[in-house]
Amino acid sequence: MTAKPSAALPAIDTVGYGLAFCGAALFSTKGIFIKLAFAEGVSTEATLALRMLVALPVYLVILVSLLRRNPQLRLLLTPPRLLVSMAVGTLGYYIASYLDFAGLAFVTAQYERLVLFTYPFFVLLFGVWFFGDKMNWRLIPAMLMSYGGLMVIFAWNLSVRPEGLLLGTTLVLGSAVTFALYQHLARRQMLVLGSALFTCIGMSTAAVLAIGQSLLVDGPARYVEFSPYVWFLGTMLGVFGTVLPSFLLNAGITRIGARATSSTASFGPIVTIALAVFILGEAFTIYHAIGTAMVLLGSWYFARQESRNRATSE
């Protein structure tokens, strides 16, 4: 028998997967910084604004630099395309972020990350419902496994601290749904504008909205009262929880697509759980272990089936 040539096997974009992996890991630190800010009495709106105050100058500098070094990019920024990019950025970086931040006021950082971790399933469903993707029914057991794990932890939280749990879960789940839709819409914009230009436009728009919201809710005087430690948390949240992972994830989406990018995030909850236990002092019981294992196992199986489906389609 003649062996099949290796050329018949589709090459794995290790760079694309590496970018997505690093972006997901950095994004997982976000909940820790938010919880620390909440502990200092900072509101949801102000915490999101602090994140954006640090990130906005970076995105504006990069945006100006991109347009100066590549004048051709200006031709791509037609008014309709600019407005669409701003709208998509608002969806993914402002609405999804606000829902997530608001949810963290009611649930633990560990649980928040696991709920957000289900967004690949919504990426799959939205792709099938709205963007012409084929349904892979072999992914259903993975989805059931992960949501079963969430229910284990949800039930434990319900028995220990039920106050605000349902509201917090709903808000974070809304963030996952919104971010999944964003990933599909963002990919279409990035294929035209490139990941860097789109990220700068989307994030700058979201930053202006978040800062404006906080100025209306909290007032400018509130920022004078913040301690250096609060500004430090805002800086860490802006740089390591926003700027770096946003470029890494969007670059990953450009190279390997939304579904593949969403399936690489399995390391994220582990990072969050470790930081939440050691920094925030959150509990990690046998129920957390079982629930987390189910979520991660479901995600691993989802990623495996998704990779096989991707290889077959290519």
Overall residue count recorded for the chain in this entry: 314
Q: Where are the domains of the chain?
A: 14-313
Confidence of residue 71 (pLDDT cuts 50, 70, 90): confident
Q: Is residue 163 within 8 Å of residue 230, measured between CB atoms? A: no
> 237 or 253: whose pLDDT is higher?
237
Q: Is residue 70 within 8 Å of residue 146, measured between CB atoms? A: no
Across the range 49-67, mean pLDDT stands at 90
Highest-confidence segment of 118-127, 193-202, 203-212: 203-212
Confidence of residue 264 (pLDDT cuts 50, 70, 90): low
Q: Name the residue with tokens 């963002």.
A: 186
Convert the pLDDT of each residue in 95-121 to its tens digit.
999 999 999 999 888 888 878 877 777
pLDDT at residue 6, rounded to an integer: 45
Distance of alpha carbon 150 from alpha carbon 112, whole angstroms: 10
Q: Which residues contact 32 (CB under 8 A, 6 or more apart)?
A: 109, 272, 275, 276, 279, 280
Q: Which amino acid is at 164?
A: G
Phi/psi at 164 (nearest 5 deg)? Answer: 75, 0
What is the residue-averaged pLDDT of the chain?
Answer: 82
Q: Torsion angle of alpha carbons 178, 129, 132, 91, nearest 10°? A: -10
Q: Which residues contact 5 (CB under 8 A, 6 or more apart)?
A: none
Tell me the percentage of the chain whose pLDDT exceeds 90.
Answer: 29
Task: Look at the pTM and tell me if it is higher than 0.95.
Answer: no
Q: Which amino acid is at 218?
A: D
> 145 or 37: whose pLDDT is higher?
37
Q: Which amino acid is at 272?
A: T
pLDDT at residue 274, rounded to an integer: 81
Distance of alpha carbon 109 from alpha carbon 112, whole angstroms: 5
Across the range 256-281, mean pLDDT stands at 73
Convert the pLDDT of each residue in 126-171 to its tens digit.
878 877 777 777 777 877 887 788 788 878 877 777 788 889 999 9
pLDDT at residue 244, rounded to an integer: 85
